[in-house]
A and B are shown apart, each in its own frame.
Chain A
Amino acid sequence: MGQTPQKWPGIELSNDDLLNKKVTQTRYHPRAKFSWSAGEAMSRFLNELKEGRLIGRECKHCNKILFPPRMFCEQCFKPTSKWVYIKDTGTIQTYSISYLDKDAKRITNPIYVGVVSIDGASEKMGIMHYFGEVTKDTIHIGMKVKAKWKPPLERTGSILDIEYFRPLKEGEQ
């Protein structure tokens, strides 16, 4: 096994050397801006989020409720048949606890993230989201959860209109 050298040969470059242009370099910022059309299925889905509702599409050929909704079924390749409201509760399929933030900086309050299969949609149909009001000791695969919605006026038609999924309380639907 090779040993990591304590000191590398040559001259180390610092970030400041780059920023102060002590190093020969060429800089370029690509202009690549997009404005994706959400399309028929996702447009309705996003608008329903503003109302605090989750909606799917039924495929009558496969007898499935597809969520997120799509206008065609990838299983049978036929057009889906109708809109169906589903619940905002579900079951944690898998999760991870991230101790690094998006810049890979270590954080003390970890981020709970995972996939929820939504009640009323077919199996393995759900949404990836954050979890809140959980600890590393309470969160588990199979946990029943419910969406914590933002207040109506703060919703924009984004999956972030749901702040996070939290544990389902007893007697709650």
Chain B
Amino acid sequence: MKVGIIGIGIAGFRTTTPELSWKELTYEAAAKAYQDAGVDPRKDVKAFVTCAEDYWEGFGIFDEFTPDQIGGALRPVCTVCGDGIHGLATGFMQIQTGLVDVVAVEAHSKISDLLTYEGVVQHALDPIWNKPLRGHPFYVAGLEMNAFLRASGNTEKHCAAVVEKNRNNALRNGIAAYGANVDLNDILTSEKAFDPLKKLEISGLADGAVVLVLASDVAAKKLKRKPVWIKGVGWANDSPSLETREWERAKYAELAAQMAYRIAKVKNPAREIDFAEVDDRFSYKELQHLESLGLAKKGQAGKMTANGDTALDGKFPVNASGGSLGCGDVVEASGLHRVAEVALQLRGDAGKRQLDGVKVGIAQSWRGIPTTSGAVAIMGVNQ
């Protein structure tokens, strides 16, 4: 059975949203998605998936709070404690079973409600091995960047080029919270944070919500919608421990992509896929992910970026949306936002950042430090 995206709703993104509760923010995205899909959530949507993590929300057992704001009161609802693409995969599978034909997937960030972001990330470290060392948890990104650059041959300048590209792309994206006309020099001279990682190479946090409506091919036809097809999904984790994981490459992204490529029957990703939205919470992550997904040859992602190949008008545009660096890190909504961007591009609805003639796109997510949790979705205009 084919599954496609028939509705897209995005609310935000902004550095803070003091006037709205997380419920009201999510409602805004949901109402937009249902309008876009032309569905009544109370009748047409058969199941609902929320992606959320208790510690981001500040509620225990957050699952309890998910139905109302997405139209899921007294309906089949479940929560995935993971990134939005994990939720997309869940919705995809629910439809594949034949039990339901229309599913809404939601992920949001009200991260401005959390006053101690670093504290929560630090709390994710192993209690016996790592927590006694205290320290800011982002040193994990410094460790990884150092190992990755050394092994791959990509440079700090290449990483800075990622930031320059993404934050400038974001200027063309109405929802982006961190669009800016920064240049290489601004980034390379920004203060050192977790050497070799510099301050401007770290995505800022943002509030926002994303809701997507998925439908089976039959349901989409009945609703008279032209879907963006989900061709394949995949997800994987590397080791949870800092001491036994791959530092040089994103193994989780490699494995997640292998699964998605197998389902989508993609043999040569660099040739068959036209553009990508990949996780760029830290500058080097975009390069590492491109290589792990097989979209750049090992050690070449940096050069591709510096040459402009991944620019809006390049051979293989990456993060046309502006990515997390440009739009803001919306925690669990990050992956779903990228899926939404790929779908908008494939529909031709990406406005000032619309890419020409794109037919197949890939979205990839990473759950951030200290996880090695990744997910991938491949979408196309043709069934």
Taking beta carbons and an 8 Å cutoff, which residues of A are in contact with B? Answer: 26, 28, 30-42, 70-72, 74-77
Query: For residue A31, which residues in chain B have a CB less than 8 angstroms away from its CB?
Result: 116, 118-120, 122-123
Find out whether the CB atom of A32 lies under 8 angstroms from the CB atom of B55: yes
Q: Contact: B21 with A37, CB < 8 Å?
A: yes
Which residue in A30, A40, A74 is a CB contact (below 8 Å) of B120?
A: A30
The 10 closest A-B pairs by CB, nearest first: A39-B21, A31-B119, A34-B58, A74-B68, A30-B123, A74-B73, A31-B116, A33-B115, A77-B71, A39-B24
Contacts of B354 in A (CB 8 A): none
Q: Are B123 and A37 in contact (CB under 8 A)?
A: no
Count B interface residues, CB 8 Å: 37
A37 to B19, Cβ gap below 8 A?
yes
Q: How many whole Å from B70's CB to the nearest CB in chain A?
A: 9
Tell whether A36 pairs with B119 under 8 Å between CB atoms, given A28-B127, A28-B131.
no
Chain A contact residues, majority secondary structure = loop
Complex: A41 Cα to B20 Cα, angstroms: 9
Distance between B185 CB and nearest chain A CB, rounded to angstroms: 36
Q: CB-defined interface of B107-118 with A at 8 Å, one 1/0 digit per residue?
A: 000101111101
Question: Is B27 interfacial (CB-CB < 8 Å)?
Answer: yes
Q: In the complex, what residue of chain A is closest to B110 when comparing beta carbons?
A: A37
Q: Would you call B31 and A77 a contact (CB within 8 A)?
A: yes
Q: Specify which chain A residues have a CB less than 8 angstroms from the CB of B120 in the assembled complex.
A: 30-32
Tell me if B24 and A40 are in contact (CB < 8 A): yes
State which of B21, B112, B115, B118 has its C-beta within 8 Å of the C-beta of A38.
B21
Q: Interface readout for B93-118 with A: 1 if CB under 8 Å, 0 if not?
A: 00000000000000000101111101
A-B contact pairs, 10 of them (CB 8 A): A31-B123, A33-B119, A34-B114, A35-B115, A37-B22, A37-B112, A37-B113, A39-B24, A42-B21, A71-B27
Interface residues of B (CB under 8 A from A): 17-24, 27, 30-31, 34, 40-42, 55, 58, 67-69, 71, 73, 110, 112-116, 118-120, 122-123, 127-128, 131-132
B42 touches A40 (CB 8 A): no
Chain B's closest residue to A31 (CB) is B119
In the bound complex, do residue B123 and residue A71 qualify as a contact, i.e. CB atoms below 8 Å apart? no
Residue of A nearest to B128 (CB): A26
Cβ contact of B69, chosen from A28, A37, A72, A75, cutoff 8 A: A72
Complex contacts, A37 vs chain B, CB 8 Å? 17-22, 110, 112-113
**Of all chain B residues, which has the CB nearest A40?**
B24
Task: Check if B123 sits within 8 Å of A36, measured CB to CB.
Answer: no
Closest to B18 in A: A37
Once A39-B24, A71-B27, A77-B42 are accepted as A-B contacts, the answer to whether A32 and B119 lie under 8 Å apart by CB is yes
| C-alpha spacing A172/B23, complex, angstroms | 37
Residues B58 and A36 in contact, CB atoms below 8 Å apart: yes
Docked CA distance A36–B31 (Å): 22
Is the pair B123, A32 in contact by a Cβ cutoff of 8 Å?
Answer: yes
When distances are taken between beta carbons in the complex, the residues of chain A under 8 Å from B73 are: 74-75
- Chain B residue at minimal CB-CB distance from A39: B21
